[in-house]
């Protein structure tokens, strides 16, 4: 395999990378193209989250699907080569037999339970590219130690020459993601000018805000923006919001959380829901984005008690309890307002929920404000 052959390999694999970047070829085709020049090996392309350790994207050729799945789900966590990669800079190429040979790990769980059952794939050359602060790309090629003398140097050269193509593919994927996110955000903000609407990511970084939100930022209430991050005047609510967003990453995107902000300066009803994920061709992961909304409740709002009672067959005490609760009073305070015990108030609230067919106080508020 001479210089001309190495040039041909790099050119053909780079061509496959460019085709995959534009969606004309599955990313697995890149692995297949590389594998065709190094028979007897297996090739994988992995995008790993540096924060969570989970994998955003994975394809391979020459590796059984079950083996890849078990690696992604568990064995990546106990991979002894993590030590090398954690200290490596972006663009680093590992030649296993030279830099970190497999024989020193033959007593490890990773080697005995994952590598050994597949046969002799102890030799490898791998490339690490740090895509951004949260994502890293790995391109490993594994093969037998008998092939190491032939493959090691050639693959190291090929990997070095493939770095620009992979980085260009990443930049293109990132551009497509940014444009898609921008369109999704602007579409979500459309026709929501009457109340505070802010597009944020899971770290509360503000991606876009409407004019009403910008005005609120200037006033510092009920929300503000500090160093590009959404801050809430209600610190406890902000903690709950962070918790909701961390949970939302693992739940259906149509889930919506609603809440009430109540203070001496006014009351707001709020909601947070996930925007549709941007469809990408691979290599990088879509980023979850969220729409945060606050709508001011007029302080003078008083529901029509007679209409409310007739609509849900509520007693006068139940109607009064409803009005106290949606005015921002706690159940205990509402009980004192209406001269009933706390336990009585809890029982009556259960009765109200049953009659209205609801389960939460935020649903109660949504109904009351319609009367």
Residue 201 φ then ψ, to 5°: -105, -175
233 has a pLDDT exceeding 60: yes
Q: What average pLDDT does the structure give for the chain?
A: 90
Cis peptide before 347 (omega within 30 of 0): no
Residue 183 lies in a domain: no
pLDDT band at 248 (very low <50, low <70, confident <90, very high): low
Q: What is the total count of domains within the chain?
A: 3
Joined together, the tokens standing for residue 363 give 């649903």
pLDDT band at 307 (very low <50, low <70, confident <90, very high): confident
Same domain, 170 and 200: no
Q: State the pTM of this model.
A: 0.74
Share of the chain above pLDDT 70, in %: 95
Of 102-106, 119-123, 282-286, 345-349, the one with minimum mean pLDDT is 282-286
Same domain, 268 and 329: no
pLDDT number for residue 311 = 87
Torsion angle in degrees (nearest 10) through CA of 101, 104, 109, 110:
0
Same domain, 75 and 53: yes
Task: State the average pLDDT over residues 63-74.
Answer: 96
Structural domain of 357: 305-368
Task: Indicate the residue among 257, 274, 297 that finishes a domain.
Answer: 297
Residue 292 lies in a domain: yes
pLDDT, tens digit (0-9, with 9 covering 90-100), for 216-227? 999 998 999 999
Task: State the average pLDDT over residues 333-359.
Answer: 92
CATH number of the domain within which 201 lies: 3.30.450.20
Neighbouring C-alpha atoms within 13 Å toward the C-beta of 296: 15
Q: With 0-12 CB in 10 A as exposed, 13-18 as middle and 19+ as buried, what is 108?
A: middle
Compute the distance between CA of residue 225 and CA of residue 314 in angstroms, rounded to an integer: 43
Compute the distance between CA of residue 9 and CA of residue 158 in angstroms, rounded to an integer: 7
Share of the chain above pLDDT 90, in %: 64
pLDDT number for residue 133 = 86
Task: Indicate the residue among 124, 153, 177 that finishes a domain.
Answer: 177
Same domain, 157 and 288: no
């Amino acid at each position: 395999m001479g210089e001309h052959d190495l040039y041909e390999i790099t050119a053909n694999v780079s061509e496959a990378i460019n085709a995959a970047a534009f969606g004309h070829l599955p990313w697995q085709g890149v692995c297949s193209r590389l594998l065709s020049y190094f028979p007897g090996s297996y090739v994988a392309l992995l995008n790993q989250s540096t924060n969570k350790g989970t994998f955003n994207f994975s394809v391979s050729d020459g590796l059984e699907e079950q083996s890849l799945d078990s690696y992604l789900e568990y064995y990546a966590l106990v991979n002894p080569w993590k030590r090398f990669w954690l200290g490596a800079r972006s663009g680093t190429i590992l030649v296993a037999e030279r830099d970190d040979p497999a024989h020193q790990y033959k007593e490890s769980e990773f080697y005995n339970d994952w590598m050994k059952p597949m046969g002799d794939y102890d030799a490898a050359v791998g490339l690490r590219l740090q895509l951004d602060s949260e994502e890293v790309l790995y391109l490993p090629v594994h093969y037998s130690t008998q092939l190491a003398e032939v493959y090691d140097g050639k693959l190291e050269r090929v990997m070095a020459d493939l770095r620009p193509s992979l980085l260009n593919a990443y930049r293109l994927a990132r551009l497509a993601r940014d444009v898609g996110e921008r369109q999704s955000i602007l579409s979500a903000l459309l026709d929501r000018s009457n109340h505070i609407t802010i597009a944020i990511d899971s770290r509360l970084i503000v991606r876009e805000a409407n004019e009403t939100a910008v005005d609120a930022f200037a006033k510092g209430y009920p929300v503000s923006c500090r160093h590009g991050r959404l801050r809430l005047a209600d610190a406890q609510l902000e903690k709950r919001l962070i918790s909701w967003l961390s949970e939302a990453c693992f739940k259906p995107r149509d889930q919506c959380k609603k809440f009430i902000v109540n203070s001496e300066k006014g009351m707001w009803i709020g909601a947070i829901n996930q925007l549709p994920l941007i469809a990408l061709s691979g290599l990088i992961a879509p980023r979850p984005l969220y729409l945060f909304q606050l709508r001011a409740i007029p302080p003078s709002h008083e529901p029509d008690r007679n209409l409310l009672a007739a609509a849900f067959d509520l007693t006068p005490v139940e109607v009064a309890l409803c009005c106290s609760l949606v005015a921002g009073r706690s159940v205990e305070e509402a009980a004192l307002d209406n001269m009933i015990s706390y336990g009585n108030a809890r029982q009556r609230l259960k009765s109200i929920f049953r009659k209205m067919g609801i389960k939460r106080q935020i649903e109660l508020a949504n109904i009351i404000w319609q009367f």
